[in-house]
Structure 1
Amino acid sequence: MALRKVVTSGLVWTFAQQFGNQLIGFFVSLVLARILLPEEFGLIAMIAVFVAVGNGILDSGLSLSIIRDTEASDRDFSTVFIFNVFAGTIIYMVVFAVAPFIAQFYDQEILTDVIRVYCITFIFSAATSVHLALFTRNMNFKIQTLTAIPAAIVGGVLGIYMAVQGFGVWSLVYSNLLNSVVSFVLIWKYSPWFPSGVFDKILFIKHWKYGYKLGLANLLNRIFNNLYLVVIGKYFSPVLLGFYSRAESTKQLPLSNIERALNKVSFPMFVGIKNDRKRLKDVFRRLLKMVIFVVSPVLLISAALGNPLFRFLFTEKWVPAVPYFQILCLGGLLLPLHSYNLSLLNIYGRSDLFLKLEFIKKILIVGSIFLIIPFGIYGLLWGQVVLSIIAYFVNAYYTQKFISYPLSTQLLDVLPIYLITVLSASLVWFGDQFFFFELSDIIRLLIGVCIGLGGYFLLSIVGRFQQLSQLKDLITNKIENK
């Protein structure tokens, strides 16, 4: 099958999984946000960093090594599987033991039981990581879609039922747990691979040497991505943390799904053409501009319509989260650039450089938090925007060396897209603030989206942006084979 046909098919199913799964999750979260209180979401946000640490240790880079190693066999898969299950069990036991100390840290006694139940998912995640890696390795994204969406539906239904029955924060806990259990059952049902029980020490060392640096970098990334939740949860209140987590999750809905879907397909594709650096640069460049073209208007138009959006979706009690959401959307504009530049290091097996860059960025984050925490929650938010800009310069450093695509050229490529995005979002904000503010929220949203997207696509046509025709080809599945 031609590369573009494989990529197109992969993107269709991956987007179906990402958006289907996340839209279901978002709908469930929306319903729960109308029933539950912000502080109950804040309690879950308090343990997010500890959940992230557990998952980060499990995601040691071994699964990525399997995807990358074209000569890996069943012995490799079984070896990694056994290690993952063993590690998942040990990590859960550790978390179970330290749960009371985490609860004491936040002065929230209920967190002890919440953590112990919520983190059972570690074991199920460990037992499916190799299966998912094999699906991705073979670019079989259809099965991933057929397992993820039913799990999200079943877990979501339980969460809503428990919330209506008055179970509070436990609605969120058991919804997530059931999602994980159903996903585990379906993945094992549809996967043609079954572990043989073989553990090969030599093969483990081979994958470990490649993966542990990526795993450590991923662990650091997960910790520091959730570090703000720890700081806000410790020094502010569960209510304020609930507002922040709601703003962050709403921003991440379009951002992480588009980026993750493209990355899932692009990584094995990049690996396949890594020896042809000229071709890799061309494909890398086009995909980078495509993801920015799709993500940026969604983020900024949503930010411009923050007030009617949050009031319509989550009710009036969540409106204080709007300023947080708007600032976080600004910082999110550069995140796809971070991800794509770092992916090159993984493609060429330079996990040492990946880890080095992560250490540099984490030092910057810790230093900035100590400096700006006296300025309160808004200091932390604007600090994230500034750090995102600095981190992009750090992440793009090695792209010049690998495919001769320097930061300056990247900025020239994406700057026109950002420009028409800002113009379109500014038009939406101006109209909503001065002309449509007295209308109902749903009408304001409909008018704003029409104005924003209409202006964006009109400017794209006038400016002859190639991404518009490429997006049309992708949607209509008419990309020609090469």
Structure 2
Amino acid sequence: MRFVFFIWSLIERFGGNVVSLLGNVLLSYLLSPDDFGMVTMLGVFSSLIFVLIDCGMSDGLLRMKEPSRKDFNTIFYFNLGVGVLLFLAYALIAPWVAQFLGYPQLRAILTTLGVGAIFSGLTITQITKLRSQLHFRRLAGLNISAISLALCVAVLIALNGGGYWALVELQVGFPGFYFVLLVIFSKWNLRWEFDFGRFKELWAFGVNLLASTIFVQLSQNIFTFILGKYYNPVSAGFMGQAQKLQQTPTNSLEMSISSTSFVLISKCETQEQKNVEILRMFGVMTFVNSLFCMLLLALSYPVIDVVFPSRWLPVVPYFRMMLCWGLVYPVCSYMLIIFKIFGRTDIIRNVMIAEKSLIVVFAFLFYRYGVMVMLASAIVVSLCSLSAYIYFASRLMGVKMMPFVGIFIRNLLPAVFAGGVSWLLVSLTPWSLLAIVAGALVFLVLLVSECKIFFPDYYGFVTEKIRVAFRRAECDKEG
């Protein structure tokens, strides 16, 4: 049953991001890197919308054994109020932001992005409620449908010469369509009720997550902001596209595992059960994440060459550095659920604020030396942070650090070897499409062989699940 929850959560996150990525590829043919850069420069502001509205309280609700209707209604009205305030705040600061970055168009863009805050305020609590009830299948359908509808409108705007407004609609339309679909296909149980006692309890839990998550979003989006300010929108567009390509597999995987694991592990009765589940999911996370990152590293150039128009080829070096960061960053994010389960959000706050502050400071210090140096500094900081997370997590769990370190290294090495061989083959193949096919096949053959020899537990688990899936499909077909 837990595997089913994970699969549907993965479909929700990964499927939605794949649809978004496909739409992004289509829009890359209709829009210029400059159009993408105009919106990507404001990524700091758009990414803070969810963080400031949620304030970490969704995790607080998920952590509760049986949250009541009043608990959900309390957080719903708080989320909605913050969403309205954010819209007003963005409209107020938009002129100064546009003046600072030097592009008057940003005033209207930022004001419009603020509308998305209202829609987000209307949807976050209901999504959390469905997640707490383990309705991952319904969430997958709603998420993919909302993204698809928003993309259709964005493509129509781009085809009619709307330029960067197509990308703005995409960010505002997604939460808007999500809200409409939730109203139609999800049972709402709204009442005008607000429990101040419960709000204070959830606020005490979430405020540490709020502070740390703000720094997370700042560190993730500071590069496009700096490139837009000190370079040009085109460079910001390239960086934004690289982030999108990297985040589709890695962030989707991390969020799927984290959201599912947090709910399931929180319901474990004993500490021993929690420790076993945490280490097991950590192994799944590091193994699959390494697989995706190394495969994409090996195929990075031919994939960009085949999928995108030629004007996007400068994205390749950005994409490769983002994938190197992706080997570490999602693993750090997964570690946060351990501290949430133990109620030690203060550790998240302290370590994450230190980590993200260093990333932001180094970005401003090293931007004059180029994007690669900025990203390299972020990778080094994230490696140090992962060590700190493992240290504190092992102390809370009452185990040594070596199980975490051993799992991480053991799962990374096979993917690195397979990726290295595939990269060599790809570099010797003159045709991009052939390079993709040959590189992917060699990578998968090597990885499966390594798993069968060195990781029989993973190999047996995956093959058994595949056999069960085929048996069910055959039974359904016969029935």
| Aligned counterparts, 1:32-111, within 5 A | 32-111=27-106
Matched-pair contact (CA < 8 Å) for 1:297–1:453: no
Q: Does 1:14 align with 2:5?
A: no
Aligned residues: 470
| Aligned counterparts, 1:244-323, within 5 A | 244-273=239-268, 275-323=269-317
Q: CA deviation at 1:414?
A: 2.3
Q: CA deviation at 1:475?
A: 4.7
- 2:461 aligns to what? 470
Q: Secondary structure at the match of 1:343?
A: helix
Letter in 2 for 1:131: Q
Q: Does 1:142 align with 2:157?
A: no
Q: CA deviation at 1:468?
A: 2.4
Q: CA deviation at 1:18?
A: 1.6
Whole-Å separation in 2 of the counterparts to 1:407 and 1:316: 46
Which stretch shifts more, 464-473 or 162-171? 464-473
Whole-Å separation in 1 of the counterparts to 2:467 and 2:77: 42
Q: CA deviation at 1:465?
A: 3.8
Whole-Å separation in 2 of the counterparts to 1:346 and 1:85: 24
Whole-Å separation in 1 of the counterparts to 2:130 and 2:17: 19
Letter in 2 for 1:26: L
Matched-pair contact (CA < 8 Å) for 1:399–1:406: no
Q: 1:414 aligns with which of 400, 408, 417?
A: 408
Whole-Å separation in 1 of the counterparts to 2:80 and 2:55: 12
Matched-pair contact (CA < 8 Å) for 2:223–2:239: no
Q: Does 1:372 align with 2:363?
A: no
- 2:441 aligns to what? 450
Q: Secondary structure at the match of 1:242?
A: helix
Whole-Å separation in 1 of the counterparts to 2:75 and 2:106: 32
Q: 1:238 aligns with which of 226, 229, 233?
A: 233
Matched-pair contact (CA < 8 Å) for 1:124–1:184: yes
- 1:397 aligns to what? 391
Matched-pair contact (CA < 8 Å) for 2:218–2:356: no
Q: Does 1:114 align with 2:105?
A: no
Q: What whole-Å deviation, never above 9, does each CA across 1:311-332 have from its counterpart, x for those lacking one?
A: 1111211111101111111111
Whole-Å separation in 2 of the counterparts to 1:168 and 1:66: 40
Q: What whole-Å deviation, never above 9, does each CA across 1:238-290 have from its counterpart, x for those lacking one?
A: 111111111111011110111111111110111111x5222211111111111
Q: CA deviation at 1:56?
A: 1.5
- 2:337 aligns to what? 343
* TM-score, normalised by the number of residues in structure 2: 0.94
Q: CA deviation at 1:379?
A: 0.8
Q: Secondary structure at the match of 1:92?
A: helix
Letter in 2 for 1:92: F
Taking only the aligned residue pairs, the percentage that are identical comes to 23
Q: CA deviation at 1:430?
A: 0.8
Letter in 1 for 2:80: V
Which stretch shifts more, 369-378 or 341-350? 369-378
Q: CA deviation at 1:12?
A: 2.2
Q: What whole-Å deviation, never above 9, does each CA across 1:318-370 have from its counterpart, x for those lacking one?
A: 11110111111111112232123221111111122221112221332234234
Q: CA deviation at 1:445?
A: 0.7
Whole-Å separation in 1 of the counterparts to 2:164 and 2:3: 40
Q: CA deviation at 1:371?
A: 3.7
Matched-pair contact (CA < 8 Å) for 2:123–2:175: no
Q: Does 1:177 align with 2:172?
A: yes
- 2:218 aligns to what? 223
Whole-Å separation in 1 of the counterparts to 2:82 and 2:364: 33
Matched-pair contact (CA < 8 Å) for 2:328–2:379: no
* TM-score, normalised by the number of residues in structure 1: 0.94
Matched-pair contact (CA < 8 Å) for 1:20–1:149: yes
Consecutive unaligned residues of structure 1, counting only runs of 5 or more, are: none
Q: CA deviation at 1:401?
A: 1.2
Q: Secondary structure at the match of 1:226?
A: helix
Letter in 2 for 1:444: A
Letter in 2 for 1:29: N
Q: CA deviation at 1:194?
A: 2.1
Which stretch shifts more, 248-257 or 60-69? 60-69
Q: CA deviation at 1:409?
A: 2.6
| Aligned counterparts, 1:151-190, within 5 A | 151-190=146-185
Q: CA deviation at 1:464?
A: 3.2
Q: Secondary structure at the match of 1:305?
A: helix
Q: CA deviation at 1:36?
A: 0.9
Matched-pair contact (CA < 8 Å) for 1:288–1:336: no
Matched-pair contact (CA < 8 Å) for 1:34–1:315: yes
Whole-Å separation in 1 of the counterparts to 2:333 and 2:28: 30
Whole-Å separation in 1 of the counterparts to 2:141 and 2:302: 34
